[in-house]
Every structure is written in C-alpha cells, then in structure tokens.
C-alpha cells in the first residue's frame, strides 16, 4: 500500500495524520433495457411507467440476463486494464425494503465478472498516482421511495428497479480528498470514453460510497467508516475532509472510531451516523437459483476488445509525443471525450499547438461563462478551423480572430465569408500602414522623443496604429515600420 506524500497529510493537534480512502463507485450501465428485464431505463418517465412484470416481482416471474449489460461490464473491465473472469455468479442479497420488490437484490458477491485492474490519475502539478481496482460486478438498482406524496403513506416508483449498475470497488489506495476527486473524475472520464456509463451524477448515474480512515503516517490501518451514496465530486471531497477531521478529533481526544455507515449532509457539510456495525444487515447472500453462472468465452471478450476506443491515457501520451503538446495541455484536452474529439477535429491538418490554444484559451472560457457543453459549442470545430486557417495564412490578425470568434459565436456562419463581408482582412499594405504611422508621429512629437530614449515606449505607437486601423494592420509590419521610423 502506498503512503502519502507529506503535502497530503492533515495536521492535527498531535501532529500529522494520513487519510486512507477506498471507494465503491456505482455506475449505471448505459443500456436501453434493464439488467434482467426488457423494461426501459430512460430517465424521467412518469412514476412506474418503466416497470415489467419481472421488475415488480410478480409471482412466477424470472430474470433473464441482458447480454448487452454483460458486454458493457466487460468493456469497462478492459478499459480498467482488469482481469475478465470467464465465469462469474449472480447472487441474491436479501433484505426487505418497499422499493426492492423481490425482497432481494441480484448482485455478484463471491465471483464478480471483472477482477483486479488499475487506474492512473494525473494531477495538475504533474504528479500522478495509481489506484488499484479490486473488482467490478453487475447488480440491480433498487426503486425509489417517495416520502412526500401523502401524509400517512410512502409511495414507491419502480422505474429504476432492476436497472443495471456496475459496482467498481477500489483498493484503499487514495490518500487525500483532492486525490479522491481526481480519481472519480478520471474514472468517470474512462467510463464516458468507453460509452458504458454516462457519468451523469445529477441524475444519479454515478454515485460513490467512500470508506475513510485515518492513521499516523506509517502506522497500520485504523477502523474505517463508510459514507454512503455521495452524488457529486465536490461532495466527495467535502465528505472526506470532514469525516477525516471528525476521526482525527476523536482519536486525538483518546477515543476510538466505531465502524459504521454514515451519510453526508451536504447542507451542513458534515457526515452523520446512519447505522452501526451491530445494526448492519445480514444479507444472506447465496447464488441465485434462477440464473445460471455467467460464462464468457474468449471470442466474446476479444470482439469487445476490438472495438475499444483510444482511452484518455493513451490519447494523452499520443498528444504529447506526436503533437508536441505539453503534458498539462494534453491532460486538459483528453479529460472529456467530447473535448478530445473537438480538439482532434480542429487539429487535423493544422498546427496542433494553435488548435490546443484555441480550445483551452478561447473556447473553454466562453463555454464556461455560458455553461455550455463543448458538444453544443456554438462555434463548431469546422468553423474554428476556418478561423485558425485565416490567422495562419495572414488574412486576419490574432486580435481580429478574437472578434471573429465572438461574431461566429452569436451569429454563426462561415468565418471566411464574414471576413470578406465585413472587411476584416488584415492590412499588410506597408504604404497604407506607413501613412497612418506618419500621421501619428507628426501629431505626437513628445512621444517620439520618449520612444527614442526608452524603446519600450514604442508599444504606445503600436496601440495607436492598431486603433486607427481598427485592428486590421498586420502587427509584424507595424512593428517593422515603427522601428525604422523611430530610428531604433
């Protein structure tokens, strides 16, 4: 087990503490139908409108495995560089709850479909760490209890009941709240690249149970607490931070940590006890006799492996090695599949660095401001490409390019045609520029003196020329002429 770098340690009254974190991520499998029934998995349907006889656990109903969900789990396993288990078993996890119609959840207990794998997480400071994946298994989601519909009764919506989830369990390899957030972001990115989970945390497609314990650096593992069902990356960070602080406080006061399940209260920013170890359910797991063991053959796995996309790690390495991008830029560009797709479309046949700059410096700011996803960017990769081309061939200046982006952003249209129509072309005619320079020099003799004494003051003249030409003057030509005129 890795130990934390100094910077990741938390300071307490008695010195530094190391936080040990392991996670169980519940990722909803991207699939039109549920894990064991043909009912729809669409989000947002009227209550109980996506419920089959199997989902409602009517008498005599039997589950039949959805092969697509198995393929998605295998695909995810391959993406996590994990072992695919040729034989796995579905078990019943027995407990009573109104939104669990069968009285048991079909899950995989002893024999999961995917075994050990790993995820590499790169941090913005250039550091990276590895998180071991313990296992991935398939299981059914439960329905939803609605407690606010009636004064005396709870209502149950079974639309989610039976939807396929992948539970991805990590080893206790994470050492800080920041790292935990980065890990979940990375895992989410991999799932999205794979197309096996949409990663939509608002709709509950991705939830995390976070196991937290603290210890003195180098000491053995301490008792952990599990924080259930945290549903945003920000909350994951907050939950870990506050839970670690709580545990440190208890230990420093000479207390002991009780193993328990806790809930994160986002409003208060703290965790609170849900149930103790003694109250933990005995789930009476046993193999589901309605289902045969899941046997996967080599051909099934290799057919999925053949369609695996390039994943963020490989893509990043390629961007650095073949396109000459910095590791940081590459990291930013690969973090979302859609961003990478946009960038690659833009960089094709163009200067990759210019394309990267465009996406990171021009596009991201505008998208963030409006809260728009890159896939819905008002400036398409083709339009952006045309703008970059106009800059590259000297038709417009970099400054005009910024204006042009804004015009296309709001009005749309072909950038080249807009440049023509609005006369945005760069002025490279030295005669015309010279004329403007002469006028400015003539009008400002004091500034000329100053510039002769202090070469940096030439910038003022550049500004004036650009202002007078409406930014269309070729900056290189302006600089060249000014140097000559001002005798530098």
Partner 1 sequence: MADLTSLTLAEARDGLRAKKFSAREIADAHIAAIERARGLNAFVMETPERAQAMAAASDQRIAKGEAGSLEGLPLAIKDLFCTDGVRTTASSKILGNFVPNYESTVTGNLWRDGAVLLGKTNLDEFAMGSSNETSCFGPVQNPWRRKGSNAPLVPGGSSGGSAAAVAAQLCLGATGTDTGGSIRQPAAFTGTVGIKPTYGRCSRWGVVAFASSLDQAGPFARTVRDAAILLRSMSGHDPKDSTSADQPVPDFEAAVGKSIKGRRIGIPKEYRVDNMPAEVEALWRQGAEWLKAAGAELVEISLPHTKYALPAYYIVAPAEASSNLARYDGVRYGLRVEGGDITDMYEQTRSAGFGAEVKRRVLIGTYVLSAGYYDAYYLQAQKVRTLIKRDFEEVFAKGVDAILTPATPSAAFAVGEKAGADPVEMYLNDIFTVTVNMAGLPGIAVPAGIDGAGLPLGLQLIGRPFDEETLFSVGAVIEQAAGRFPPPERWWER
What residues line the site for partner 1 (CB under 8 A)?
53, 56-65, 92, 94, 96, 98, 101-104, 154, 156, 282, 284-286, 289-292
Q: Mutual orientation of helices 67-79 and 298-305 as an angle, nearest 10°?
A: 60
Closest CB 58 distance from partner 1, rounded Å: 7
- Could you tell me the two tokens for 392? 């590259």
Nearer CB in complex with partner 1: 55/331: 55
Closest CB 107 distance from partner 1, rounded Å: 13
Neighbours of 296 (CB within 10 A): 18
How open is the CA angle 157-159-164, to the nearest 5 degrees? Answer: 130
Tell me how far apart the alpha carbons of residues 320 and 314 are, in angstroms, rounded to a whole number. 10
Closest CB 301 distance from partner 1, rounded Å: 21
- Could you tell me the two tokens for 160? 């989610």
Q: Is 305 helix (H, G, I), strand (E, B) or coil?
A: helix
**What residues are paired with 295 via a beta bridge?**
87
CA 122 to centroid of chain Cα atoms:
13
Closest CB 45 distance from partner 1, rounded Å: 18
What is the DSSP track for 266-295? TTTTEEEEEEESTT------EE-TTS--EE
Q: How far is CA 185 from CA 119, 201, 415, in A?
A: 11, 11, 35
CA atoms within a 13 Å half-sphere pointing along the CA-CB vector of 140: 36
Nearer CB in complex with partner 1: 132/162: 162
Per-residue burial over 161-198, b if 16 or more Cβ lie within 10 Å, else e, is bbbbbbbbbbbbbbbbbbbbbbbbbbbbbbbbbbebbb
Closest CB 139 distance from partner 1, rounded Å: 16
Contact 54, 162 (CB under 8 A): yes
Contact 452, 408 (CB under 8 A): no
Tell me how far apart the alpha carbons of residues 377 and 41 are, in angstroms, rounded to a whole number. 28
The terminus-to-terminus CA distance of the chain in angstroms comes to 64
Closest CB 110 distance from partner 1, rounded Å: 11
Closest CB 137 distance from partner 1, rounded Å: 18
- Could you tell me the two tokens for 84? 């695919």
- Could you tell me the two tokens for 363? 């596009």
Nearer CB in complex with partner 1: 63/77: 63
**What residues are paired with 209 via a beta bridge?**
24
CA 69 to centroid of chain Cα atoms:
22
Nearer CB in complex with partner 1: 52/247: 52
- Could you tell me the two tokens for 290? 């309605």
Tell me how far apart the alpha carbons of residues 17 and 222 are, in angstroms, rounded to a whole number. 11
Nearer CB in complex with partner 1: 96/487: 96
Closest CB 46 distance from partner 1, rounded Å: 17
Nearer CB in complex with partner 1: 61/320: 61
Nearer CB in complex with partner 1: 56/478: 56
Tell me how far apart the alpha carbons of residues 64 and 61 are, in angstroms, rounded to a whole number. 10
Closest CB 70 distance from partner 1, rounded Å: 13
362: nearest Cα among 418, 404, 412: 404
Nearer CB in complex with partner 1: 48/444: 48
9: nearest Cα among 229, 245, 283: 245
Closest CB 211 distance from partner 1, rounded Å: 20
Nearer CB in complex with partner 1: 62/273: 62
Nearer CB in complex with partner 1: 6/153: 153
Closest CB 238 distance from partner 1, rounded Å: 31
Closest CB 95 distance from partner 1, rounded Å: 9
Nearer CB in complex with partner 1: 285/460: 285
Nearer CB in complex with partner 1: 67/406: 67
164: nearest Cα among 26, 305, 304: 26
């Amino acid at each position: 087990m890795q130990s934390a770098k100094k910077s990741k340690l938390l300071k307490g009254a008695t010195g530094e503490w190391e936080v040990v974190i392991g996670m169980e991520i519940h990722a909803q499998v991207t699939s039109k139908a549920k894990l064991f029934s043909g009912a729809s998995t669409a989000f947002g349907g009227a209550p109980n409108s996506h419920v089959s006889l199997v989902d409602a656990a009517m008498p005599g109903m039997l589950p039949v495995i959805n092969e697509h969900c198995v393929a998605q789990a295998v695909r995810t396993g391959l993406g996590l560089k994990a072992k695919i288990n040729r034989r796995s078993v579905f078990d019943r996890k027995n407990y009573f709850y109104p939104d669990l119609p069968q009285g048991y959840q079909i899950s995989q207990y002893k024999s999961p479909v995917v075994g050990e794998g790993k995820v590499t997480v790169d941090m913005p400071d250039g550091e990276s760490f590895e998180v071991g994946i313990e296992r991935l298994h398939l299981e059914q989601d439960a329905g939803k209890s609605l407690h606010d519909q009636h004064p005396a009764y709870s209502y149950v919506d079974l639309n989610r009941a039976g939807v396929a989830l992948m539970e991805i369990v990590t080893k206790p390899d994470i050492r800080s709240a920041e790292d935990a957030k980065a890990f979940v972001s990375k895992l989410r990115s991999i799932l999205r690249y794979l197309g096996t989970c949409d990663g939509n945390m608002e709709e509950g497609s991705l939830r995390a149970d976070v196991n937290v314990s603290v210890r003195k650096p180098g000491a053995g593992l301490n008792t952990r607490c599990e924080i259930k069902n945290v549903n945003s990356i920000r909350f994951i960070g907050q939950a870990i931070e506050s839970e670690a602080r709580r545990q440190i406080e208890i230990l420093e006061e000479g207390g002991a940590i009780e193993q328990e399940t806790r809930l994160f209260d986002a409003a208060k920013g703290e965790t609170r006890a849900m149930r103790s170890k003694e109250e933990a359910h005995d789930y009476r797991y046993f193999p589901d006799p309605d289902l045969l063991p899941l046997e996967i053959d080599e051909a099934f796995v290799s057919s999925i492996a053949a369609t695996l996309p390039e994943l963020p790690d490989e893509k990043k390495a390629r961007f650095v090695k073949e396109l000459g991008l910095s590791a940081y830029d590459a990291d930013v560009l690969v973090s979302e599949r859609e961003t990478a797709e946009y960038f690659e479309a833009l960089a094709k046949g163009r200067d990759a660095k210019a394309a990267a700059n465009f996406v990171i410096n021009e596009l991201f700011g505008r998208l963030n401001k409006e809260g728009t996803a890159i896939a819905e960017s008002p400036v398409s990769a083709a339009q952006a490409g045309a703008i970059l081309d106009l800059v590259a061939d000297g038709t417009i200046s970099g400054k005009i390019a910024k204006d042009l982006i804004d015009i296309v952003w709001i009005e749309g249209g072909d950038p080249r045609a807009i440049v023509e129509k609005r006369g945005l072309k760069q002025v490279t005619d030295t005669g015309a520029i010279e004329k403007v320079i002469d006028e400015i020099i003539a009008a400002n003799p004091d500034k000329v003196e100053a510039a002769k004494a202090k070469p940096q003051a030439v910038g003022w003249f550049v500004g004036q020329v650009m202002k007078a030409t409406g930014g269309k003057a070729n900056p290189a030509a302006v600089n060249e002429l000014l140097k000559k005129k001002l005798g530098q």
